[in-house]
Chain A
Amino acid sequence: MSTEVASIVNSDPATDPATAPSTEVKWDVERIRRDFPVLHQTVNGKPLIYLDNSASSQVPQVVIDRGSVYIEQEHSNIHRGVHYLSQKATTAYEGAREKVKRFINARDSRECIFVRGATEGINLVMYGYGRKFIGEGDEIVISAMEHHANIVPWQMLCEEKGARLRVIPMNDAGELLLDEYDGLLNERTKFVSLIHVSNALGTINPVKEMIAQAHKYGVPVLIDGAQAAPHMPVDVQDLDADFYVFSGHKMYAPTGSGIVYGKAELLEKMNPFQGGGDMIKTVTFEKTTYADLPNKLEAGTPAIASQIGLGAAIDYLDGIGREQAATYEAELLRYATERVSAIEGVRIIGTAKNKASVLSFIIDDIHPHDIGTILDQEGIAVRAGHHCAQPVMQRFNVPATARASFAFYNTKEEIDVLARTIEKVIEIFG
């Protein structure tokens, strides 16, 4: 929590009316929008309304500029040159790692491994930890709302090792059944991997409690925070997460950036993910000794510009205030839910009590693809499809949904256009 918000919460409105908490959200969205050049264009002759932030968010000018400065003035390979530019590049790259450490409150920056994104992060843990410590007859617990990135790697591992995948079910609102989760944990459970915020439904899972439950059995837990990191403060120590992964491109950084956080003692005892340069101490044809953390898990030349961009995106989020951004997004979600669910024939998929700013919906007898095409003609970008979460679609017995996902640069006026265009869709299909 930022000090600014803390001071408001701690002040006494009776004695200090100037700092009394206000129900009005203070958020200068027009100023924020000016930071994002991509938003200022027309699509099919209409102003772009970008509501596909869960798929990938836009990049602010300061992040673009930081990447450009690196490419124009600092580009070189990291960790391997005595020359000036290599040192500049290494300093910028390792500086980004320090920012990530603060962003998620890791104990040590060595616990923050740069990867291409959340998918690569989960695969890194599956290869490095799973293949070493999970064997025949062991069980891995995931949830019914995982996206493919947190299903397929574990299925691959189960197939290879003869382990078993167990799935925590969810209710019709899209909330995990925690009693069932408790029943799935036992002495055979060797790993738990859970989505923090559902990309398809918006549900925020009570991962802190779920981690504590797994720890009673001594089971390590990976949290897939791809949709959480952009929307809420994340504190890996408070959560007591063993692993935490997220993607940069869903939190205002370029594609190709992302993080695996892991507790140092777990990262130490894992196998490397990929072999190659930068992850070694010495190599002979007889034997290789691996580098210390974090390099042991970062083979080859990484996406230096993208990871430096991730650092700049963290600075940007700190600058605008993560708590305030989350409060504004919560208000957008409330407003959009009210507007869209009032339209006859529309059903919201994912009605958990605790949700991030994701609105998945279907319209009676109209396929989400057709909704997506018509919205696109009005300049509105939404995702139409299964959101890489086919089991979630099967659970709700729908082939696909349309999904509007909001960021702190979206406006209520954009939501009004969305609602009006949904009405138009229904009109066209009569």
Chain B
Amino acid sequence: MSELNELYQQVILDHNKKPRNFRKLENANYTAEGFNPLCGDQLTIYVNVAGDAVQEIAFEGSGCAISKAAASMMTQAVKGKSKEQAEKLFHEFHSMVTGELDEETEENNLGNLKIFAGVRDFPVRVKCATLPWHTMHAALNQQDRVSTE
């Protein structure tokens, strides 16, 4: 069960139980919906960008512990960052869970997101961990402006 313990660490279980920034962001100016048709996981990412900075980010939806915790910790990690930094973090996170980046030896800014490294031993769960990141990426790039009126 050691790989399992690596996957379901206490921090991940805690974020699953009490997801942070789990709400609709009324003043969001970027939003996107992420959907994994294979398993039915679905989430919406709301971002409020001012200038170049991610002022606020939140999410709603339903999914497994991995996707929910990944979304929760992502919102904490990118809040206050520039769009460019957020995108860079997405790239690093993606590289880590697909086994392309060794988070211990190679330079990165992942910080406590390293806790998701264990996902790489569960290839079918990689999509769960990256779904919120892909969705944030889509939100930031599609510039699908939501009315703040």
Q: Looking at the complex, which one of B3, B7, B38, B64 makes contact with A367 (CB distance below 8 Å)?
A: B64
B1 CB–A CB distance under 8 Å: yes
User: A368–B125 Cα gap in the complex (Å)?
Assistant: 12
In angstroms, Cα B64 to Cα A390, docked, is 17
Within 8 Å of chain A (Cβ to Cβ): is B45? no
Given contacts A384-B39, A399-B42, contact A429 B13 (CB under 8 A): yes
For window 90-137 of B, CB contacts with A under 8 Å fall at 122, 124-125, 128
Give every chain A residue within 8 A of B128 (Cβ-Cβ): 369
List the B side residues contacting A373 at CB < 8 Å.
Answer: 4, 7, 122, 124-125
Contact yes or no, B63 A385, CB < 8 A: no
Does residue B51 face the partner (Cβ distance < 8 Å to A)? no
Encoded as 1 (CB less than 8 Å from any B CB) or 0, chain A from 352 to 372 comes to 000000000000011111100
A386 pairs with B40, CB closer than 8 A: yes
Cβ A377 vs Cβ B1 within 8 A: yes
What 0/1 pattern do residues 1 to 39 of B give for CB contact below 8 A with A? 101100110000100110000000000000000000011
Contact present for A369 and B39 (CB under 8 Å): yes
A428 interfacial by beta-carbon distance below 8 Å: yes
Taking CB atoms, residues of chain A closer than 8 Å to B4 are 373-374, 377, 428
Contact partner, B8, options A365, A370, A399, Cβ 8 Å: A370
B146 proximal to A (CB < 8 A)? no
- Residue A183 is within 8 A (CB to CB) of chain B in the complex: no
Whether a CB of chain A sits under 8 angstroms from the CB of B66 is yes
**For B64, what are the chain A residues with a Cβ–Cβ distance below 8 Å?**
367-370
Given contacts A377-B4, A428-B8, could you give 20 more A-B pairs where the C-beta distance is less than 8 Å? A365-B17, A366-B65, A367-B62, A368-B64, A369-B64, A369-B125, A370-B65, A373-B4, A373-B124, A373-B125, A374-B4, A374-B8, A377-B1, A386-B40, A390-B40, A399-B62, A400-B40, A428-B13, A429-B8, A430-B13
- Asked if A393 CB lies within 8 Å of chain B CBs, one says yes
B41 adjacent to chain A (CB < 8 Å):
yes
Q: How far is the CA of A325 from the CA of B128 in the complex (A)?
A: 38
**Is A393 a contact partner of B13 (Cβ separation < 8 A)?**
no
- B132–chain A nearest beta-carbon distance, Å: 14
Does B65 lie within 8 Å of A367, measured CB to CB?
A: yes
Known contacts A365-B17, A373-B122, A430-B13; is-contact A399 B65 (Cβ 8 Å): no
Q: Which residues of B contact A370 (CB under 8 A)?
A: 8, 64-66
Given the known interface contacts A370-B66, A429-B13, A430-B13, the answer about A400 and B39 at a Cβ–Cβ threshold of 8 Å is yes
Which A264-278 residues have C-beta < 8 A from chain B? none
- Known A370-B66, A373-B122, A399-B62; judge A393-B1 contact (CB<8 A): no
The docked-state distance in angstroms from the alpha carbon of A299 to that of B11 is: 57
A385 closest partner in B (C-beta): B39
Question: In whole Å, how far is A147's beta carbon from the nearest beta carbon of chain B?
Answer: 14
Taking a contact as CB atoms under 8 Å apart, the answer to whether A393 and B40 are in contact is: yes
Closest chain-A Cβ to B43's Cβ sits at a distance in Å of 11
Residues of A within 8 A of B40 (CB): 385-386, 390, 393, 399-400
**CB within 8 Å for A367 and B63 given contacts A373-B125, A385-B39, A386-B40:** yes
Q: Which residues from B are CB-within-8-Å of A386? A: 39-40
Give the shortest distance, in Å, between A389 (CB) and chain B (any CB).
10
- Complex Cα distance, B65 from A390, in Å, reads 20
Interface string of B57-77 (1 = CB under 8 A from A): 000001111101000000000
Nearest CB of B to A14, in Å = 56
Q: Which residues of A contact B3 (CB under 8 A)?
A: 377
Residues of B within 8 A of A384 (CB): 39
Q: Which residues of A contact B39 (CB under 8 A)?
A: 369, 384-386, 400
Considering the complex, give the chain A residue whose CB is closest to the CB of B16: A429
The interface residues of chain B lying within 8 Å CB-to-CB of A385 are 38-40
CB distance from B117 to the nearest CB of A (A): 16
> Which residues of chain B come closer than 8 Å to A390, judged between CB atoms?
40
Chain A contacts for B65, CB-based, 8 A: 366-367, 370, 429
Chain A contacts for B125, CB-based, 8 A? 369, 373
**Contacts of A369 on B, CB cut-off 8 Å?**
39, 41, 63-64, 66, 125, 128
Q: Please, could you name 28 A-B residue pairs with CB atoms under 8 Å apart, sorted by A?
A: A365-B17, A366-B65, A367-B63, A367-B64, A367-B65, A368-B64, A369-B41, A369-B66, A369-B128, A370-B65, A373-B7, A373-B122, A373-B124, A384-B39, A385-B38, A385-B39, A390-B40, A393-B40, A399-B42, A399-B63, A400-B39, A400-B40, A428-B4, A428-B8, A428-B13, A429-B8, A429-B13, A429-B65
- CB within 8 Å of B: which A179-206 residues: none
Instruction: Kindly state the separation between the CA atoms of A367 and B67 in the bound complex, as whole angstroms.
Output: 10
Alpha-carbon distance A428/B38, docked complex (angstroms): 25
Whole-angstrom distance between the Cβ of A9 and the nearest chain B Cβ: 45
- Of A366, A373, A428, chain B has the most CB atoms within 10 Å of the CB of A373
Complex CA gap A374/B65 in Å reads: 12
Please give the distance in Å from B72's CB to the nearest CB on chain A.
Answer: 14
Q: Shortest distance in angstroms between B90's beta carbon and chain A's nearest beta carbon?
A: 22
Interface string of A136-157 (1 = CB under 8 A from B): 0000000000000000000000
What's the minimum C-beta distance from B120 to chain A, rounded to whole angstroms? Answer: 14
Please give me the residue from chain A that is nearest to B2 by CB atom: A377
Closest to A366 in B: B65
